[in-house]
A and B are shown apart, each in its own frame.
Chain A
Amino acid sequence: MQDEPTPTELIKAVADFLRNEIAPAIKGHNGFKLRVGINALDLVTRQLALAETGDATEAARLKALLGADGSLMELNRALSEKIASGEVDLKTPGLSEHLWQTTMDKLAVDQPNYASYKRELGAK
């Protein structure tokens, strides 16, 4: 077992330092790059917090949809092939709900400020 602090706590501490102490002092292109870097650290902390539950529920939905077992990658590959061939489409019970939930879970990590995501979150 690794010791504390957790990866999340470490990354948060670094991101907060860069955001609060360094970013205000850096201008121009490096300022832009610094903001991208802070965004990347924030994304990693969101992924560390959310991915485990998201992946587990995604895998459960995929297994139910496909009636098959496998890794998340294998299951997504199988679903992709069935969509490409037309064997599964939006009329298939559960497909639309699955794609929506999976996509919402990705956006919660990738871009929680994306306007389409915020709209759909409010509309749920």
Chain B
Amino acid sequence: MIETELRRCVAAFHPGATGVTGAAKLSGGASQETWTFDIVHPNGNVGAILRRAPPGYGAAPGRAAGLDAEATLMQLAHDAGLPSPKVMHVLTPEDGLGRGFIMARVEGETIARKILRDEEFAGARPILARQLGRVIAGIHGLPQAKLPQLRSLTATREIEDLGREYHSFNWPRPVFELALRWLRDHDPGPSSEVTLVHGDFRHGNLIIGPDGVRAVLDWELAHFGDPMEDLGWICVNSWRFGEIDKPVGGFGTREDLFAGYEEAGRKADPDRVKFWEVMGTLRWGVMCCGMMQRFRLGPDHSMERAMIGRRASETEIDLLRLLAPRGR
């Protein structure tokens, strides 16, 4: 039982804690798990989240920043007053829980369809885009000297990576080729300013309450690069969940997003944002194809993964709407 290890671990970093209760796995791939649990304390229980690679799993693969870097980034964001959970403890080998960290649990909603449709969030929707613009600006402005080691990416490099991954599937998709060609032809070159980029700033990784955004999660894809990447990614149509006329997450306008970003003293570049929106749309399409590959090759032979493969065509129509809009 994971509660045994958690109890020992919590006793060491949370003074007065008498145990843990209600441990439940929220999500888990082969190499990364998220657990929720309560720290039992005489002054009242404290909600906590464990994010870990179980014992036996080494450093994070490929694009991932690594759990230690994620913990550092979350703590820096928290310290800067951004909506980010407090990091309570970074796991050590003595904890026997693998690699990872424990953070405070933030109550709220991450499911896009609820955020976009439920009455509870009616007051949050009109203010979210501007709020998120300010939050993204805050992330891009985190003190460079304190940031952990992360990969550096340019637009050129990301186009190459995406093209290589798509070609590895060996399944011709003329619309993806058109998008790759467009990206190469419109590569804006190195950004004049390179900052921390969250890398996955979208529904699912944002905890939203009736009052607006409460926490930014999942820094797994954080890297150094063009700050406009984060603004483009959150505009990708795949994150609008049907509300296609509200480009920011299905709840707001680019103008509000940019206004929030600029209120925090930074400058948005709409052309670069559009470039990254095209890149992001293609990236989600390639990711859908990748899930289909993992389904076919076996590690995750689930219907869900198989069906996500049939969502790549959604990104094809969105790419055509961006690159070859039909006259009307």
* Cβ contacts under 8 Å, B320 to chain A: 99-100, 103
Min CB gap B25→A, angstroms: 11
Alpha-carbon distance between A103 and B176 when the two chains are bound, in angstroms:
11
Inter-subunit contact B314/A116 (CB<8 Å): yes
Listed residue (B177, B303, B323) with the most chain A CB atoms within 10 angstroms of its CB: B177
Contact with A along B305-320 (1 / 0, CB 8 A): 0110011011011101
Q: Is B321 an interface residue (CB 8 A)?
A: yes
Contact with B along A58-73 (1 / 0, CB 8 A): 0000000000000001
Q: Is B63 an interface residue (CB 8 A)?
A: no
Inter-subunit contact A36/B317 (CB<8 Å): no
Contact with B along A37-56 (1 / 0, CB 8 A): 10110010000000000000
Inter-subunit contact A40/B303 (CB<8 Å): yes
Q: Is B194 an interface residue (CB 8 A)?
A: no
Min CB gap B52→A, angstroms: 21
Identify which of residues 283-328 in chain B touch chain A, using a CB-to-CB cut-off of 8 Å. 303-304, 306-307, 310-311, 313-314, 316-318, 320-321, 323-324, 326, 328
Q: Is A115 an interface residue (CB 8 A)?
A: yes
Among the stretches B35-43, B126-134, B167-175, B199-207, the one at the interface with A is: B167-175
Inter-subunit contact B313/A110 (CB<8 Å): yes
Min CB gap A106→B, angstroms: 4
Inter-subunit contact A107/B314 (CB<8 Å): yes
* Cβ contacts under 8 Å, A40 to chain B: 303, 306-307
Alpha-carbon distance between A80 and B166 when the two chains are bound, in angstroms:
12
* Cβ contacts under 8 Å, B328 to chain A: 123
In terms of DSSP, what is the predominant structure of the interface of chain B?
Answer: helix
In terms of DSSP, what is the predominant structure of the interface of chain A?
Answer: helix
Count the B residues whose beta carbon is within 8 Å of the partner chain — how many?
A: 30
Inter-subunit contact B177/A80 (CB<8 Å): yes
Alpha-carbon distance between A33 and B303 when the two chains are bound, in angstroms:
8
Alpha-carbon distance between A116 and B205 when the two chains are bound, in angstroms:
24
Knowing A100-B320, A110-B314, the reply to whether A90 touches B178 (Cβ < 8 A) is yes
Contact with A along B47-86 (1 / 0, CB 8 A): 0000000000000000000000000000000000000000
Min CB gap B289→A, angstroms: 13
Identify which of residues 87-124 in chain A touch chain B, using a CB-to-CB cut-off of 8 Å. 89-90, 96, 99-100, 102-104, 106-107, 110-111, 114-117, 119-120, 123-124
Inter-subunit contact B306/A84 (CB<8 Å): no
Knowing A36-B303, A99-B175, the reply to whether A84 touches B181 (Cβ < 8 A) is yes
Q: Is B237 an interface residue (CB 8 A)?
A: yes
Inter-subunit contact B174/A80 (CB<8 Å): yes
Inter-subunit contact B303/A90 (CB<8 Å): no
Q: Is A79 an interface residue (CB 8 A)?
A: yes
* Cβ contacts under 8 Å, B240 to chain A: 115
Q: Is B180 an interface residue (CB 8 A)?
A: yes
* Cβ contacts under 8 Å, A119 to chain B: 244
Identify which of residues 203-237 in chain B touch chain A, using a CB-to-CB cut-off of 8 Å. 237
Q: Is B242 an interface residue (CB 8 A)?
A: yes
Alpha-carbon distance between A40 and B308 when the two chains are bound, in angstroms:
10
* Cβ contacts under 8 Å, B177 to chain A: 79-80, 83-84
Inter-subunit contact B242/A36 (CB<8 Å): no
Inter-subunit contact A96/B321 (CB<8 Å): no
Alpha-carbon distance between A20 and B310 when the two chains are bound, in angstroms:
24
Partner of A116, one of B173, B174, B244, B307: B244
Inter-subunit contact B310/A111 (CB<8 Å): yes
Q: Is A5 an interface residue (CB 8 A)?
A: no
Inter-subunit contact A43/B310 (CB<8 Å): yes
- The 3 residue pairs across chains A and B that have the minimum distance between CB atoms: A83-B177, A76-B172, A106-B313
| Beyond A79-B172, A114-B314, 6 extra complex contacts between A and B, CB < 8 Å | A80-B172, A99-B178, A103-B320, A111-B313, A116-B314, A116-B317
Binding site for A on B (CB under 8 A): 172-175, 177-178, 180-181, 237, 240, 242-244, 303-304, 306-307, 310-311, 313-314, 316-318, 320-321, 323-324, 326, 328
9 chain-A/chain-B pairs, Cβ below 8 angstroms: A33-B303, A40-B303, A73-B172, A89-B181, A103-B313, A103-B316, A107-B317, A110-B310, A111-B310
